Amino acid sequence: MSPEPKADEGLIAAGSRFADRVRGALLGVAVGDALGTPVEGLPRAVLQRQPVRDFLPVSRCNYPPGTWSDDTSLTMCLASSLSELGRLDLKDVACRFVRWVEEGYWSPHGVAFGMGRTTRQAISRLRAGVPPEGAGAKGEWSNGNGSLMRTLPLPVFFHDADPQELVQAAHRVSALTHAHPRSQMACGILCLVAQNLLSALEPLAAAQQAAATAARIYASPPFAEERRHFARLLEGDLWKLPAEQVHSSGYVVHTLEASLWCLCKYEDFASVVLSAVNLGGDADTTGAVAGGLAGLTWGESAIPGQWLRCLVRAEEIRRVAASLAKVTARIAGR
């Protein structure tokens, strides 16, 4: 066989692997969200006695198993904007957030479901005509995980960009709802880890390399003074901590730490996502972030089939992921 067809085969294989991982990322967010949503807010001790192992109905809303929440809706708003426009357009992303609230766009059953307080207030400002750059909350007490949970389409779209450019994009998109530097930095760090995962680093190496890059990028104000809040991650001992020292509240730093801790501790999609959900607390968001990272690492093919079959709107999520992978690959010139 001549070398040329071999090179083509290599490119096709790389392209289909990339597409599998992008589908895995978006479906992984939705699967983790759907596993966690029925038990959102339950303490860890309760889930230790009776851990989640499968999809459950969302009894408070009478929704069927496989129903996901705001984490997935807002992730899909961002993913569909990037894939349809082929560029990052904050105004378009903001419009889709407003449509989610007003029309149930990218909702599981036609109505926006599971909105957090900071996101609700920012979307009200967007609806009132405040420009996207000024809509997000800036206070230190507005550092919930509401922007972190929807950031994963960005490292896909900017997977071959300079890390500085990726981080800038993460900050701008975070600031639509969460404009405090701590939330922006959490999104930036997650994007750096995901970018490393897409360049085929193993989870622990991806996280450690991202920590080194983040230490360089976040060396000046207003981020330098935020670094102490990420010390366990940036200084490298998060991975060695026992579960009791890993928190899983709705605080953005907790969600970033917990999802990365699960990703680095376990070696398959189901174990990562179930361990994240069963940490309790903000189970749907910890599940969504960990599930997205695990899907990005191992691809759609690593997500158990019974979950994909039961997941609400799975085929539509898969279609957007496929189109995002295609647009991204074209922009990257591959």
| Residues binding Mg ion (CB under 5 A) | 69-71, 114, 284
Name the burial class of residue 280, with classes exposed (0-12), middle (13-18) and buried (19+) by CB atoms within 10 angstroms of its CB: buried
Q: How far is the CB of 69 from Mg ion (least distance, A)?
A: 3
Measured from the CB atom, the residue of 71 and 257 that comes closer to Mg ion is 71
Q: How far is the CB of 70 from Mg ion (least distance, A)?
A: 4
Q: How far is the CB of 150 from Mg ion (least distance, A)?
A: 10
Among 172, 180, 101, CA closest to 145: 180
Among 15, 50, 24, CA closest to 277: 50
Helix intervals (H) in 86-234: 90-103, 117-127, 153-157, 163-174, 181-198, 203-217, 231-234
Report the alpha-carbon distance of residue 99 to residue 113 in Å, rounded. 13
Measured from the CB atom, the residue of 67 and 195 that comes closer to Mg ion is 67
Please give the backbone phi and psi of residue 161, each rounded to the nearest 5 degrees, phi first: -80, 165
Measured from the CB atom, the residue of 20 and 70 that comes closer to Mg ion is 70
Measured from the CB atom, the residue of 20 and 71 that comes closer to Mg ion is 71
| Position closest to Mg ion via CB | 69
Using an 8 Å Cβ cutoff, are 88 and 157 in contact?
Answer: yes
Q: How far is the CB of 113 from Mg ion (least distance, A)?
A: 8
Measured from the CB atom, the residue of 71 and 300 that comes closer to Mg ion is 71
| Whole-Å CA distances, 313 to 32, 72, 85, 137, 171 | 14, 11, 22, 31, 29
Name the burial class of residue 323, with classes exposed (0-12), middle (13-18) and buried (19+) by CB atoms within 10 angstroms of its CB: middle
Query: Which helix (H) or strand (E) is 141 found in, with range?
Result: none
Q: How far is the CB of 19 from Mg ion (least distance, A)?
A: 27
Q: How many helices (H) and strands (E) does the chain have?
A: 15, 0
Measured from the CB atom, the residue of 183 and 328 that comes closer to Mg ion is 183
Measured from the CB atom, the residue of 69 and 328 that comes closer to Mg ion is 69
Q: How far is the CB of 285 from Mg ion (least distance, A)?
A: 6
Q: How far is the CB of 123 from Mg ion (least distance, A)?
A: 15
